[in-house]
Amino acid sequence: MVPHLTTALNGPLLALETSFLNAAPDIERWLRGQWQEHTPPFYGSVDLRNSGFKLAPVDMNLFPGGFNNLNSAFLPLCVQAAMTAIEKICPNAKSLLLIPENHTRNIHYLQNVARLANILRLTGLNVRLGSLLPEIEKPTSVDLQNGTSLLLEPLIRTQYRLGLDDFDPCAILLNNDLTAGIPDVLKNLNEQFVLPPLHAGWAVRRKSNHFAAYDDVANDFARMIGIDPWQINPYFSVCNSVNFHERQGEECLAANVDAVLGMMREKYKEYGIEETPFVIVKADAGTYGMGVMTVKDASEVIGLNRKQRNKMSVIKEGMNVSQVIIQEGVHTHERVNNGVAEPVVYMIDRFVVGGFYRVNSARGIDENLNAPGMHFEPLAFETSCSLPDQCQTPDAPPNRFYAYGVVARLAQLAASLELERTEPEHAQ
């Protein structure tokens, strides 16, 4: 069953979905041409927001950690896509080293690692797990809720290669976003493929670079099918040199909030939208919904109280925030069982392999849902996001999710451009 969407029966978004359906052959041909010129990331997940008048990505994760939340019916899709990705990189690959995040006590995350390892093994690879944790000095078994376990092993570094005891893999797959920095053990691995590349990690990556690339993708795509790019693209700007503890950069924040809100008001007036515009101020690097606030007026970022400053100043791994992105807020009008919901679409290589809803009954339609109280609905997608049915209405399940799949693939394409543009010179 597909959870009921409150926007499924009416609203201007149906016009956008109709445009996607009518142009489906052109869209698929255009995307196919793009993938001939650009290499997609090994995997990725995209947070989408559906406001009823706009369908846009608001975040792009290159180290997705929710494979356990995907509908198991889509496991064959995952395996096929992973096969395609691996064949491009290392056609004769027999073994792969998977390096997970360090939080070994998060059972949900570990279930994701187990699902990911299973997908990779079904492609014919011998998969083992190497840990960056210094305390993992010998093979260590971690029990999972379903009665199975994961074996974490200490990494062994030689001059240009990384492996485990009696294990020399063709490639290394990171499921660790490197927020705390790039460990020495991962540097200068000249004889192995590291996926995604090291500069995809949050030690280097910036959300603003991604959305700058998405700007280009969305404009080209919108021109091709004849829509307003704003319908699929959130406005954004950036403030550098921010220090919330010392109240440094407040003027920059206020000016940029005001500018983005001003552009939004113009668009809302153009489309006759009565919602209250808002922006999301968040760390330009980092995940897990940390360092995020909703702002409806520029005055709100001046003179933040101690609690607000503490919340905004630190992200995952205790890293300080010095740069923020001010992003157009997209209301989400979707609900699952009375909780505000946003779709998360998962991709491997250039293929949509499933998705789920992030649901948070404690948050509003204009708030970040990646916060305490959230849960996931893994059965969100009744059908693949890749098989539209032009004989049905735009809001029919295959078609609604086709639109989601298209926008997610645009974000995946933007990620490939982003990684090309930010690749370090010495790596080229």
The sign of the dihedral angle between the CA atoms of 161, 125, 176, 89 is: positive
pLDDT for residue 1: 36
The residues pairing with 282 across neighbouring beta strands, listed in sequence order, are 292, 325
> How confident is the model at residue 2, as a pLDDT?
39
Q: Which domains are seen in the chain, by residue range?
A: 1-62+205-234+330-422 (no CATH), 72-203 (3.40.50.11280), 241-328 (no CATH)
Contacts of 326 (CB under 8 A, 6+ apart): 236, 237, 238, 239, 253, 256, 257, 260, 279, 280, 281
**Which DSSP symbol is given to 219?**
H
Task: Name the amino acid, one letter, at 371.
Answer: A
- The pLDDT assigned to 326 comes to 94
Q: By C-alpha distance, which of 49, 54, 47 is closest to 14?
A: 54
pLDDT per residue as tens, the chain (428 positions): 333 433 333 455 778 888 999 999 999 999 999 999 999 999 999 999 988 889 999 999 999 999 999 888 889 999 999 999 999 888 888 999 999 999 878 888 999 999 999 999 999 999 999 999 999 999 999 999 888 999 999 999 999 899 999 999 999 999 999 988 999 999 999 889 999 999 999 989 999 999 999 999 999 999 999 999 999 999 999 998 878 877 888 889 899 999 999 999 999 999 999 999 999 998 888 766 667 888 999 998 888 888 877 777 776 666 677 788 999 999 988 787 778 888 899 999 999 998 888 888 888 887 778 877 788 876 545 566 667 777 777 767 667 778 889 999 999 999 999 999 999 975 54
289: left (phi over 0), alpha (psi -120 to 50) or beta: left
If you write DSSP's letter for every residue of 82-105 in order, what string do you get?
Answer: HHHHHHHH-TT--EEEEEE-S-TT
Tokens in use for 107?
Answer: 């059972």
Note whether 428 and 57 are within 8 A (CB): no
Listed residue (262, 219, 255, 226) closest to 240, CA to CA: 255
Q: What is the pLDDT of residue 315?
A: 67
In 3D, which of 283, 286, 279 has the Cα closest to residue 325?
283
Token match 């779709």: residue?
A: 343
Tokens 């376990």, located at residue: 149
> How crowded is residue 71: how many other Cβ atoms within 10 Å of its Cβ?
18
Q: Identify the pLDDT of residue 7.
A: 39
SS percent in the chain: helix, strand, coil, step 5: 35, 25, 40
Buried b (16+ CB within 10 A) or exposed e, 222-242: beebebeebbbbbbbbbbeeb
